Chains A and B, each alone.
Chain A
Amino acid sequence: MHSLLEVESISKSFGDLTANNDISFSVSEGEIVAVLGENGAGKTTLMNIIFGHYLPDSGSIKFKGEKIPVGNTRAAINLGIGMVHQHFTLAENLSVLENIAIGNQSLLGFSIDFKQIEHKITKISGEFGLAVDPRAIISDLSIGEKQRVEIIKTLFGDCELVILDEPTASLTPQEVDQLFLIIRSMVKVGLGVIIISHKLDEILRISDRIIVLRNGKLTGSMDKANFDKSILAEMIVGKKTERPEKNKGKKTEKLMELIGLNISSNVGSPMGLSDINFELFGGEIHGIAGVSGNGQRTFAEVMAGHIRPDSGDLLINGKRIKKITPRAFMDEGVAYIPEDRTSDGVVGELSILDNGVLTETKNPKIANRFGFLNKKSSIKFVGEICEENDVRFQSLSQPTRLLSGGNIQKLLIGRWLKRNPEIIIACQPTRGLDEGAIVSVQKLLLEERDKGKAVLFITEDLDELLLVSDVISIMFDGKLMGPYNYDKLEKREIGLMMTGSGIL
Chain B
Amino acid sequence: MIIEFLELFVNAGFWAATVRIACPLLLATLGELICERAGVLNLGIEGIMTAGAMVGWTAVYLGADLSLGIIFAALIGAIFGLIHAGFTVHLGASQHVTGIGITLLAASISYFAFRLILPTSTTPPKIKAFEPIEILYLSDIPFLGPIFFQQTFFTYLAFLAVPIVIWFLNRSPFGLAVKMAGENPMALEAQGINVLRIRTIAVMIGSALMAVGGAYLTMSAFNAFYFGMINGRGWIAVALVIFAAWKPERAILGALLFAGLDAYQVRAQQLAGAVIPYQFFLMLPYVLSIAAMVFAAKSTRYPKALLIPFRRGERH
Contacts and interface: CB of A to CB of B under 8 A. Distances in A.
Asked whether A and B interact, the reply is yes
A101 B190 contact: no
B177 A102 contact: yes
Among B176, B179, B303, the one with the most A-chain Cβ atoms within 10 Å of its Cβ is: B176
B183 to A, nearest CB: 4
A480 to B, nearest CB: 29
- Max count, chain A CB within 10 A of own CB: residue among B172, B183, B187, B189: B187
B179 to A, nearest CB: 6
B188 interface: yes
B299 A94 contact: no
Interface of A: 14, 52-55, 72-77, 83, 85, 87, 89-94, 98-99, 101-103, 105-112, 267-268
B177 A89 contact: no
B246 to A, nearest CB: 9
Nearest to A19: B315
Contacts of A85: 186, 190
B173 A102 contact: yes
B303 to A, nearest CB: 8
Contact of B173 (A75, A83, A108): A108
30 contacts: A52-B192, A53-B189, A53-B313, A54-B313, A73-B189, A73-B190, A74-B193, A77-B191, A83-B190, A89-B186, A89-B187, A89-B189, A89-B190, A92-B183, A93-B179, A93-B183, A93-B303, A101-B173, A102-B173, A102-B187, A102-B188, A102-B193, A103-B191, A105-B173, A106-B173, A107-B177, A108-B173, A109-B172, A111-B172, A267-B299
Interface in B160-202: 167, 171-174, 176-177, 179-180, 183-184, 186-193, 198
Given A53-B189, A85-B190, A102 B180 contact: yes
A328 B313 CA distance: 44
Contacts of A94: 176, 179-180, 183
Given A73-B192, A85-B190, A89-B186, A107 B173 contact: yes
Instruction: Output the residue of B174, B192, B304, B315 with the most chain A CB within 10 A.
Output: B192
Contacts of A87: 186, 316
Contacts of A98: 176, 179
B299 A91 contact: no
A90 B192 contact: no
A106 B190 CA distance: 16
Contact of B176 (A72, A73, A83, A101): A101
B301 A267 contact: yes
A93 B172 CA distance: 17
Top 5 A-B pairs, shortest CB-CB distance: A74-B192, A103-B191, A73-B192, A91-B183, A89-B190
Interface string B34-46: 0000000000000
Contacts of A54: 313
A47 to B, nearest CB: 12
Nearest to B298: A267
A90 B173 contact: no
B189 A102 contact: no
Nearest to B180: A91
Contacts of A110: 172
Given A87-B316, A92-B183, 4 more contacts: A85-B190, A89-B189, A93-B303, A267-B301
Contacts, number: 87
Nearest to B246: A93
Contacts of B174: 107-108
Contacts of A91: 179-180, 183-184, 187
B268 to A, nearest CB: 37
Most B C-beta atoms less than 10 A away, residue of A74, A76, A98, A102: A102
A158 B171 CA distance: 24
Nearest to B305: A91
A101 B315 CA distance: 26
A369 to B, nearest CB: 40
Contacts of A55: 313
Contacts of A83: 190
Contacts of B315: 14
Contacts of A99: 180, 187
A90 B187 contact: yes
B173 A76 contact: no
A73 B190 CA distance: 7
From B173, B177, B180, residue with most partner A Cβ within 10 Å: B173
Nearest to A84: B190
B198 to A, nearest CB: 8
Nearest to B194: A74
A94 B304 CA distance: 12
Nearest to A53: B313
A72 B315 CA distance: 17
Contacts of A111: 167, 171-172
A89 B172 CA distance: 20
A83 B198 CA distance: 22
Contacts of B172: 109-112
Q: Which of A52, A72, A92 has the most CB of B within 10 A?
A: A92
Contacts of A102: 173, 176-177, 180, 187-188, 191, 193
Nearest to A150: B190
Given A76-B192, A103-B191, A268-B301, A92 B176 contact: no
A111 B188 CA distance: 18
